[in-house]
Structure 1
């Protein structure tokens, strides 16, 4: 029956049936501990880096972005401000998949999005990009929102929920 620790030393010895092997295992045990420590450190660092790639609590991830669907309501400007306090913007819609995702998660309420429209039906996203009309827009008011039927415009002072978006770093 092997016993693994010697009382006389801080090194690991192997005893087999009352006989002690002549080889001290200190070097092997020390090297193994160093390797295990390094692996553990790498795993902790990797886990810490990965955890920064996740969305904050209460946000939903999609296509390397995080989205926050507000529970409260505000006008378009206060909605934009509320997003900025969370280091985010009112959402921009880059493609059809993103539009479908947002419509699916917003439930039945209308939500402000980060698009302002001009009288001539041109629009500008909160990041400065020009609205390319990649999806239809109903209405002729100044601020855009997302409804069950897609994007539409309303007067900017109307109270609605909002959607914030930020990229995952």
Structure 2
């Protein structure tokens, strides 16, 4: 801003006053410009402060808000947890009450069952005592009858032993008389009171039976251990057919050639085993346990038997 002042003064003094006034006006103009700039700067600063958010003006506000939110969340969580605990406690209380009622019912049933069981035991014990008495009486009677029967049996056995002794003496006398009789047919051996024919030539079981019949005998039938023991020295370690084979109707049963059932046997260990389901006839090998089952088509020797007569 330029201010011009006209002066009517003349001379040097007038010029100096004019210059001084002009310089003073310039300083005033500069001060006005400086105040104007300061005023504009203050207005801009106020506007900037008004536009800033409250939190920017006050940082502690966010901390307070955050704490309030956390407290609300904690309260909600605590409330939910308390509600769940209350529900759980309620259910537990109901379940406990139900279990207590159930236990009372079970105790009542047990007491009833115990009483009933005691009554049943008492009845059973009474029956058992009665049965024991009856059994004791029966045993006493049976003992008396048994003692009496044993005495009679002993007496009968003594009589039988006497008869057997007499019979043995008679047989001995007869054997002495038979010693003067004709011996067994040619090729036969006299063993005890029978004649035996030992054929070492190997043939099948059916063929051996036919050969024995041709010689007016039968394929050997062992009646007892005594007869087996009498044949073992002659048999040695040879193999001979016996007149014994499985029953066609039941292979677990054995029949002698005369149709009688097997009552005496001397099977070897693990025999008869019917190996390959084809061993249906019996052989003798030698030795006290010498019987074995074998395929009937095998070719081995055979023994024929016939009675020895004078």
Tell me the TM-score range normalised by the shorter chain: 0.5 to 0.7
d(CA) in 2 for partners of 1:72 and 1:108? 15
1:123 aligns with 2:263: no
Give the CA deviation at 1:155.
0.6
Could you list the per-position Cα deviations for residues 107-155 of structure 1 after superposition, in whole angstroms to 9, with x for gaps in the alignment? 2211001001245431111111111144336222210110124111101
d(CA) in 2 for partners of 1:72 and 1:124? 24
TM-score, structure 2 as length reference: 0.36
CA contact (8 A) 2:222 2:264 kept: no
TM-score, structure 1 as length reference: 0.65
Match of 1:153 among 275, 289, 293: 293
Question: How large is the Cα RMSD of the aligned pairs?
Answer: 2.1
3-state SS of paired residue (2:304) = strand
Specify the structure having the higher radius of gyration (Cα). Answer: 2
CA contact (8 A) 1:103 1:146 kept: no
d(CA) in 2 for partners of 1:63 and 1:89? 17
The 5 Å alignment of 1:94-133 reads: 94-118=223-247, 120-133=251-264
The 5 Å alignment of 1:32-111 reads: 50-51=181-182, 54-111=183-240
Could you list the per-position Cα deviations for residues 37-96 of structure 1 after superposition, in whole angstroms to 9, with x for gaps in the alignment? xxxxxxxxx99x922xx2112211123110011031100000111111000111000111
CA contact (8 A) 2:265 2:291 kept: no
Greater share of residues in strand? 1
The 5 Å alignment of 1:8-19 reads: none
d(CA) in 2 for partners of 1:134 and 1:159? 22
d(CA) in 2 for partners of 1:146 and 1:111? 5
d(CA) in 2 for partners of 1:126 and 1:168? 19
Greater share of residues in helix? 2
CA contact (8 A) 2:202 2:299 kept: yes
Q: Gapped runs of 5+ residues in structure 2?
A: 1-176
* Higher RCO, 1 vs 2 (CA within 8 Å, ≥6 residues apart): 1
